[in-house]
A and B are shown apart, each in its own frame.
Chain A
């Protein structure tokens, strides 16, 4: 629960940050459109404003202005502002009044060149001479309180009707905050024009939330019922307040309506949480799977207890780090007192996100190369002594960790996730973070590729033959030494991939692999040695049960301990894991 709370706090923080950015974005959009109108004018709005400016009576003016409600664009608001601040002039040329705006610089007579408000063309006299006017001598279009009120109505709608769907949704949801009745008309108007189903739902929700404060009792009840039907999470706290108020004032009908609405919303909430937990479990299972799959090769197939597996993960992560640095500002490192500098490409904000695409194969290759080196130097002598491979690789893990510390320092290194990995995808109030979706997809891809390599390539055939019976394979003419090296390198490469991957979701430091080592060994043992499918199932199972237990117990540590205990008990039932490789030999 602590973690859940933490993550919900995270979500809140992101939410707040997002709305702040949204406000800034809106302001920016307005500024941009006011800059843009000189280049690409939206004729119809300008024409309407021009028509309104010269309409004979205030009533007609209001009517024309209110007609803008139907096509709300930010530009409208800019023109309103211009109008209110007296930047629209009414040039009276022998009884024909034309609304104009000023442009250019003032000349010696303090007069300016003019543009017609309606179509942004220079305003000329009949003989084609441009008209220059002095703002002090020409009357500007005035506004009265009625007109300003109409303008505000339109502006409110514009504020809600951002062409960008995400921003529009946020604006609509924000409109309900505080349940201000004066925001209601704009929402109601917008509801008639809105086509997008998501925005429509948000509109209905916001309208109902505001209507909870309606003076009409029936409307309040209807709104309450509606919110229950909509499973409105945003209304949850408001309805709680309403219920408390209704109970205090003895309004049983309202209290009952609020109760049933709350029940519906709570049910919805628990459904969301269940799906969310499952999704989190799946994604953390996928992380475990990606981390453990390399071990399923080196430990599961080859029988090497590779305690340095975690350090191969770190190698992959640091490869990703170097590539990120190459794509951006370059990297200065000083391993063993030497000073090294790698120049950066200084790519633009959008392009540098592609570093990750380059880093995925690179981390595989680098980790695999280190794996080849290690296998040739040490592991090849230990195939018949598995317990000693455990000890030797632990020594190697110490050495590799220390070398990484020498090169990169022992602190976390910083990563910027590519833009296409941030953000999320919301279905029915359930938030699927892109990075978690990516995690799952990536895991599936790795499994499929690994399976294909092992079962559909000649290398895979050789690997399986050698792992089943090294001596027999050698007798059949397979170069077992080479196959061993390649298999080990493949497993290490997969660990490197996991590192590239963890760089996006976890801290990267020289000791990062240590966190995973016990978990990934457990995963392989539970899955059954020598079976990729077993690893898949056990990783998913452990991930989901870990997350679920954390949710229910509210404590990550106790959850983890319970999972470890469950694994020990599970091995009572199936000592060789989920999938047993059958054999007639007796070790």
Chain B
């Protein structure tokens, strides 16, 4: 938290530059053939994941709520978009997922999704309302900490079970795929893909800007106060439940928007996206990048996914879970602040080292204190527990 004025001064231009690079330079380079369509497509995906990561960080890093249901909101947004895209396929008859369960006509709830604005409204409303109801129930009864995590995980699990059913008429196992058109543009065109990428990058920039503003506002202050000691905030007269509910709904909508942009880019949405592992994977990105920062989660999402697409193909595929799991354990144990914390950790090490060399008989630093204390405790404990 002890930010040097220098780094914050460097940070802002760096952010601006990254934003310009992602939104303008990358697509331009792609248009001139310097970046392949495949790479740009991958980056579009990574940026969607980056937005998802921010939504998790907003909850976990800033409010102390580890939500394991963000993948659900992400997928819900994807499904809303998917429904619109399915209606846009055109042609006669119904898609196979409907004829498979004996439906010869579109179910009525699909009809309004023909309109793009309605679909967009649903992308915001459906996850937002779900988050509102669930959050209201959870925060009202002061479910927090790990209980909140487990409950959101259960919610996601239940929803995944539901979406796997064909009878829900949402495509069952296979979900929605084979999309063709979006707003009159063919999804197979390179230019459409580039357009989608630009929209994603712009959304990312907007979300980053919005979160920066939010977390630096008075609201953000209370948010962080809730993270650090909810009871004190509560006793100071703030209705913490409402604050938490607001941030929960906001982050659900952010995740949903990311999902809605994700679907036309990858061309498929199915319930395996909301399996419990997916939410945890997204939490890994945040942890790896550094929670409690805005840029960290994006860096984490991009780096983990870039590594994943490199590692999970070919002969190393079997080792990817080992790498992911192992790196996660290492990050939790040794890098509690993630990538963003590395400079600080190095600085601490250097400081420690220089202090040691400066005066060898100086008192040991604070961290060594506790371990010595533990040693004393355990040595006094031995005769007692032996008897």
A: residues with CB less than 8 A from B are: 303, 305, 307, 378, 381-382, 386-388, 390-392, 394-399, 401-403, 405-406, 462, 474-482, 514, 517-518, 521-522, 525, 557, 560-561, 564-565, 567-569, 571-573, 575, 586-587
A522-B154, A557-B164 known; 10 other A-B pairs, CB under 8 Å? A382-B332, A391-B284, A395-B325, A398-B325, A402-B318, A475-B377, A521-B154, A557-B165, A568-B138, A572-B137
Query: Contact at A478–B384, with CB atoms within 8 Å?
Result: yes
17 A/B residue pairs, CB under 8 Å, sorted by A: A392-B328, A392-B329, A394-B325, A395-B326, A402-B321, A402-B322, A462-B385, A477-B381, A478-B384, A479-B382, A517-B276, A560-B161, A571-B151, A572-B137, A572-B140, A586-B231, A587-B145
If the complex has contacts A395-B328, A395-B329, are A386 and B145 also in contact, measured as CB distance less than 8 A?
yes
Separation of A568 and B133 alpha carbons in the complex (Å): 11
Most chain A Cβ neighbours within 10 Å, of B157, B165, B284, B336: B157
Query: Contact at B325–A402, with CB atoms within 8 Å?
Result: yes
If the complex has contacts A386-B145, A398-B322, are A564 and B384 also in contact, measured as CB distance less than 8 A?
no
CB within 8 Å of A: which B175-193 residues: none
Counting from the closest, the 8 A-B pairs by CB-CB distance are A477-B384, A395-B328, A398-B325, A399-B325, A395-B325, A564-B158, A392-B332, A575-B141
Query: Contact at A557–B146, with CB atoms within 8 Å?
Result: no
If the complex has contacts A395-B324, A474-B377, are A568 and B287 also in contact, measured as CB distance less than 8 A?
no
Nearest CB of B to A496, in Å:
20
Most chain A Cβ neighbours within 10 Å, of B66, B140, B276, B385: B385
Cβ-based interface call for B198 (8 A) = no
Separation of A463 and B46 alpha carbons in the complex (Å): 46
Separation of A399 and B329 alpha carbons in the complex (Å): 10
Q: Pick the contact of B137 from A397, A525, A568 — CB < 8 Å?
A: A568
Query: Contact at A399–B378, with CB atoms within 8 Å?
Result: no
Query: Contact at B324–A564, with CB atoms within 8 Å?
Result: no
Q: Which B residues touch A479, using CB under 8 A?
A: 378, 381-382, 385
Binary contact track B125-159/A, C-beta < 8 Å → 1, others 0:
00000000010011011110111011101110110
Cβ-based interface call for B350 (8 A) = no
Query: Contact at A564–B382, with CB atoms within 8 Å?
Result: no
Q: Which A residues touch B329, using CB under 8 A?
A: 378, 392, 395-396, 399
Query: Contact at B325–A397, with CB atoms within 8 Å?
Result: yes
Query: Contact at A391–B325, with CB atoms within 8 Å?
Result: no
Separation of A481 and B374 alpha carbons in the complex (Å): 10
Nearest CB of A to B355, in Å:
24
CB within 8 Å of A: which B260-287 residues: 276-277, 280, 283-284, 287
CB within 8 Å of A: which B321-347 residues: 321-322, 324-329, 332-333, 336
Query: Contact at B287–A567, with CB atoms within 8 Å?
Result: no
Q: Pick the contact of B384 from A381, A476, A571 — CB < 8 Å?
A: A476
Most chain B Cβ neighbours within 10 Å, of A396, A406, A517, A521: A521
Query: Contact at A305–B325, with CB atoms within 8 Å?
Result: no
Binary contact track B310-328/A, C-beta < 8 Å → 1, others 0:
0000000011011011111
Separation of A331 and B329 alpha carbons in the complex (Å): 32
Q: Which B residues touch A475, using CB under 8 A?
A: 377
Separation of A388 and B165 alpha carbons in the complex (Å): 34
Query: Contact at A398–B384, with CB atoms within 8 Å?
Result: no
Q: Which residue of chain B lies nearest to A575 when distances are taken between CB atoms in the complex?
A: B141
Q: Which residue of chain B lies nearest to A401 when distances are taken between CB atoms in the complex?
A: B321
Nearest CB of A to B206, in Å:
29
If the complex has contacts A479-B378, A517-B276, are A567 and B154 also in contact, measured as CB distance less than 8 A?
yes
Separation of A571 and B142 alpha carbons in the complex (Å): 10
Q: Which B residues touch A517, using CB under 8 A?
A: 276
Q: Pick the contact of B162 from A386, A557, A569, A572 — CB < 8 Å?
A: A557
Cβ-based interface call for B102 (8 A) = no
Interface of B, secondary structure class, is: helix
Query: Contact at A395–B332, with CB atoms within 8 Å?
Result: yes
Q: Pick the contact of B66 from A382, A387, A575 — CB < 8 Å?
A: A387
Cβ-based interface call for B383 (8 A) = yes
Query: Contact at B154–A394, with CB atoms within 8 Å?
Result: no
Nearest CB of B to A396, in Å:
6
Cβ-based interface call for B4 (8 A) = no
CB within 8 Å of A: which B282-321 residues: 283-284, 287, 318-319, 321
Q: Which residue of chain B lies nearest to A565 when distances are taken between CB atoms in the complex?
A: B158
Query: Contact at B333–A378, with CB atoms within 8 Å?
Result: yes
Cβ-based interface call for B216 (8 A) = no
Cβ-based interface call for B92 (8 A) = no
Q: Which residue of chain B lies nearest to A572 when distances are taken between CB atoms in the complex?
A: B141
Q: Which residue of chain A lies nearest to B157 when distances are taken between CB atoms in the complex?
A: A518
Query: Contact at B147–A398, with CB atoms within 8 Å?
Result: no
Q: Which B residues touch A462, using CB under 8 A?
A: 385
If the complex has contacts A395-B324, A398-B321, A587-B231, are A564 and B280 also in contact, measured as CB distance less than 8 A?
no
Q: Which residue of chain B lies nearest to A387 when distances are taken between CB atoms in the complex?
A: B66
Query: Contact at B378–A481, with CB atoms within 8 Å?
Result: yes
Q: Which A residues touch B322, using CB under 8 A?
A: 398-399, 402-403
Q: Pick the contact of B328 from A391, A514, A575, A586 — CB < 8 Å?
A: A391
Separation of A247 and B104 alpha carbons in the complex (Å): 41
Query: Contact at A395–B327, with CB atoms within 8 Å?
Result: yes
Query: Contact at B150–A522, with CB atoms within 8 Å?
Result: yes
Q: Which A residues touch B284, using CB under 8 A?
A: 391, 395
Query: Contact at A394–B157, with CB atoms within 8 Å?
Result: no
Separation of A387 and B336 alpha carbons in the complex (Å): 12
Separation of A396 and B321 alpha carbons in the complex (Å): 10
Q: Which B residues touch A568, using CB under 8 A?
A: 134, 137-138, 151, 154-155
Q: Which B residues touch A307, using CB under 8 A?
A: 280
If the complex has contacts A305-B146, A392-B333, A406-B318, are A521 and B153 also in contact, measured as CB distance less than 8 A?
yes
If the complex has contacts A521-B150, A561-B162, are A571 and B143 also in contact, measured as CB distance less than 8 A?
yes
Cβ-based interface call for B380 (8 A) = yes
Query: Contact at B381–A390, with CB atoms within 8 Å?
Result: no
Separation of A399 and B150 alpha carbons in the complex (Å): 21
Q: Which residue of chain A lies nearest to B326 when distances are taken between CB atoms in the complex?
A: A399
Separation of A575 and B141 alpha carbons in the complex (Å): 6
Nearest CB of B to A530, in Å:
13
Most chain B Cβ neighbours within 10 Å, of A387, A405, A406: A387
Query: Contact at B318–A387, with CB atoms within 8 Å?
Result: no
Separation of A587 and B228 alpha carbons in the complex (Å): 12
Q: Which residue of chain A lies nearest to B376 when distances are taken between CB atoms in the complex?
A: A474
Separation of A481 and B371 alpha carbons in the complex (Å): 13
Separation of A357 and B81 alpha carbons in the complex (Å): 55
If the complex has contacts A396-B329, A575-B143, are A474 and B381 also in contact, measured as CB distance less than 8 A?
yes
Separation of A568 and B153 alpha carbons in the complex (Å): 12
Q: Which residue of chain B lies nearest to A474 when distances are taken between CB atoms in the complex?
A: B377
Separation of A280 and B231 alpha carbons in the complex (Å): 44
Q: Which A residues touch B319, using CB under 8 A?
A: 402
Separation of A405 and B151 alpha carbons in the complex (Å): 29
Q: Which B residues touch A390, using CB under 8 A?
A: 66, 146, 149
Query: Contact at B142–A575, with CB atoms within 8 Å?
Result: yes
Q: Which residue of chain A lies nearest to B380 when distances are taken between CB atoms in the complex?
A: A477
Nearest CB of A to B169, in Å:
14
Nearest CB of B to A303, in Å:
8
Separation of A587 and B146 alpha carbons in the complex (Å): 13
Separation of A540 and B324 alpha carbons in the complex (Å): 37
Separation of A395 and B276 alpha carbons in the complex (Å): 13
Q: Which residue of chain A lies nearest to B320 when distances are taken between CB atoms in the complex?
A: A402
Nearest CB of B to A34, in Å:
58
Separation of A102 and B380 alpha carbons in the complex (Å): 94
Q: Which residue of chain A lies nearest to B334 when distances are taken between CB atoms in the complex?
A: A381
Query: Contact at A564–B321, with CB atoms within 8 Å?
Result: no
Query: Contact at B150–A387, with CB atoms within 8 Å?
Result: no
Q: Which B residues touch A381, using CB under 8 A?
A: 333
Most chain A Cβ neighbours within 10 Å, of B155, B158, B319, B327: B158
Separation of A567 and B151 alpha carbons in the complex (Å): 9
Q: Which B residues touch A567, using CB under 8 A?
A: 154
Separation of A398 and B280 alpha carbons in the complex (Å): 11
Nearest CB of B to A288, in Å:
14
Q: Which A residues touch B164, using CB under 8 A?
A: 557
Q: Which residue of chain A lies nearest to B162 when distances are taken between CB atoms in the complex?
A: A561
Query: Contact at A477–B157, with CB atoms within 8 Å?
Result: no
